[in-house]
Amino acid sequence: MFDSKMKKAYVLINCDIEKVEVVLLTLRKIKSVTEAHGTFGVYDIITEVKADTAELLKEDLTWKIRKLPFIKSTLTLIRVSE
């Protein structure tokens, strides 16, 4: 269940196309990644990321996701309050 105080983001990822499955497996091992799916179109993967604070979300996005091998670029969409 999503706690309304938690921070949530969606990350669109471009990666080496032959490494999509490897990246998906790695992403799914990250505690803050609640969903990770391959896609067709401009981006290869979409992920949902949740953290208790904005700082933890930023850390995970910067150090655990964007720095993964085979990732070429990311676009992060941070959810705003409802």
Q: Are 50 and 30 in contact, with CB atoms under 8 Å apart?
A: no
Measured distance CA(45)–CA(20) in Å, rounded: 8
20-78 per-position pLDDT tens digit: 999 999 999 999 999 999 999 999 999 999 999 999 999 999 999 999 999 999 999 99
pLDDT at residue 39, as a whole number: 97
Q: Which residue has the tokens 């150090």?
A: 63
Paired tokens of 6? 């938690």
* Higher pLDDT, residue 50 or 1: 50
Domain boundaries, the chain: 7-78
Report the topology of domain 7-78: Alpha-Beta Plaits (3.30.70)
Q: Which residues pair with 12 in a beta bridge?
A: 46, 75
Strands 7-15 and 71-78: antiparallel
